[in-house]
Amino acid sequence: MTTTLTPPEEKSSEAVPPQRAKPKLPFKYRLSRWDVKASPYVYIAPFFILFGLVGLFPLGYTFVVSLNKWNLLTGPGGFVGLSNYVAELNDPFFWNSLFNTVSIFLLSAVPQLIIAVVIAAVLDQNIRGKTFWRMSVLIPYVVTPVAVTLIFSSAFDEKYGAINNLLQFFHLNPIMWKTETFPSHIAIATMVNWRWTGYNALILLAAMQAVPRDIYESAALDGAGAIRRFFSMTLPSIRPTMIFVIITATVGGLQIFTEPKLFNPTTATPGGPQRQYQTTVLYLWDLAFNRQNFGKASAVAWLLFLIIVLFGLLNFLISRRIASTEARSSKRKTAKRLAAYNQNKIS
């Protein structure tokens, strides 16, 4: 537009011959340059197009829904701004679901990672039938969560379950696995651990195997025992993998749905008779499909998304901080020792 209004001033400069003449490249050469520059984008395009379609678009659409009063069946019922978010942040059931989620997450993630590290360390040793053991720890992961939940749900049954039968055999009181808060969280965390421990162990094992063996040998020659080697060498070297495992465990743990949904599928309220183990995803499912409140359910979905991002960042910062302080303190220690050594030498 502006070019038509203002007189073209470039003409004069054009009259001056260009300082560097641009040779016209042959088509073949241009094509190959285009190929080098553009092809990578074309190759990764399918992912981003798909991500936009099934990831980004639903995310945006969910946000639009969350700003409206929206019945699942009768559809949108008017723009309400952020009031769905306000209502959910004041809803005790939302906070209850968040408490349950975090509680189950902590009960599962912490023991799971500790056990996974131990299993990985054991598998890292020179044991007989390596492949057999390695495949064995992955088997629980291969079984679908629905089947796992069915089996555990029947084992944890309050009246007829194997675990309570065993307790009663030893004249102990049966535990109300399905109707009390803490026992139900333990039961669900057990299912999660059963499924994910082996998987995490294998990832950690891969990281451990990447640690150069000669360092271990020299440490052993210097007199470091197996435990000392594990804590001072194995753990620090697998830290990046640990961070990855922790973050994926966080994302997965905060989105837990199948296990609590199917733990006691016949209960009238999903997630326990008094919502004892109704996790946030289960709560949002309940809101959308039992209470037909699509607007509020979308608001919960977004709140959960923000919470997961927050947790992820927090995890990242903490694990990075641990990494850097350790490095710093070890540097300081080395410096101190070096100074002391030098002093001794001088004196």
Partner 1 sequence: MKISRRTKGAAALAGIAAFALIATGCSSGGSSASSSGSSTDPITLNVTTFGTMGYDDLYKQYEQLHPNITINATIIDTGDNAKTDWQTKEAAGAGLPDVQAVEEGWLSAVMQVSDQFNDLSQYGANDIKDRWVPWKLAQATDAKGRIIGYGSDIGPEGICYNSKDFAAAGLPTDRDAVAALFGGDSATWADYFTIGQQYKAATGKAFYDQSGFLWNAMVNQLKEGYYKTDGTLNVEGNAQLEALWTQLSSATASGLSANQTAWDWGKGKAFTDGSFSTFVCPGWMLGVVKGQVTSAGGDATSGWDFANVFPGGAANWGGSFLTVPTQSKHPQEAADLAAFLTNAQSQAAAFGVAGTFPSVTAAQSDPAVTGTNDLSTFFNNAPLGTILAARAKGVVAQYKGPDDSVIQSQVFGPAIQEIDSGKADGATAWNDAITLLNQLVVNK
Which residues are near partner 1 by CB under 8 A?
Answer: 34, 37-38, 41-42, 45, 48-49, 52-53, 71-74, 91-93, 154, 157-160, 176, 178-179, 264, 266-269, 273-275, 289-294
Q: What does the DSSP assignment read for 185-201?
A: HHHHHHHHHHHHHHHHH
Alpha helices in 212-293 (DSSP H): 213-221, 226-229, 235-237, 239-254, 258-263, 280-289
Q: How far apart are CA 30 and CA 24, in angstroms?
A: 10
Question: Which one, 40 or 240, has the nearer CB to partner 1?
Answer: 40
Q: How far is the CB of 252 from partner 1 (least distance, A)?
A: 24
Q: How far apart are CA 239 and CA 311, in angstroms?
A: 19
Are 253 and 103 a contacting pair, CB within 8 Å?
Answer: no
Q: What does the DSSP assignment read for 65-115?
A: HHTEEEETTTEEEEE-TTHHHHHHHT-HHHHHHHHHHHHHHHHHHHHHHHH
Q: What dihedral do alpha carbons 307, 313, 315, 320 form, nearest 10°? A: -170
The pair of three-digit structure tokens given for residue 188, joined into one six-digit string: 């669900």
Q: How far is the CB of 100 from partner 1 (least distance, A)?
A: 15
Q: How far is the CB of 187 from partner 1 (least distance, A)?
A: 14
> What are the backbone angles phi and psi of residue 126, rounded to the nearest 5°?
-80, 90
Q: Which helix (H) or strand (E) segment is 157 a member of? A: none
Q: How far apart are CA 330 and CA 327, in angstroms?
A: 5
Q: Find residue 79's DSSP bridge partners.
A: 68
Q: How far is the CB of 332 from partner 1 (least distance, A)?
A: 47
Residues 6+ apart with CB under 8 A from 265: 153
Helices and strands, counts by H and E, the chain:
17, 2
Q: How far is the CB of 212 from partner 1 (least distance, A)?
A: 41
The pair of three-digit structure tokens given for residue 209, joined into one six-digit string: 């195997």
Question: Which one, 108 or 293, has the nearer CB to partner 1?
Answer: 293
Q: How far is the CB of 176 from partner 1 (least distance, A)?
A: 8
Q: How far is the CB of 6 from partner 1 (least distance, A)?
A: 24
Q: How far apart are CA 231 and CA 224, in angstroms?
A: 11
Closest CA to 307 of 334, 281, 276: 281
Q: How far is the CB of 240 from partner 1 (least distance, A)?
A: 31
Question: Which one, 195 or 275, has the nearer CB to partner 1?
Answer: 275
Q: How far is the CB of 166 from partner 1 (least distance, A)?
A: 16
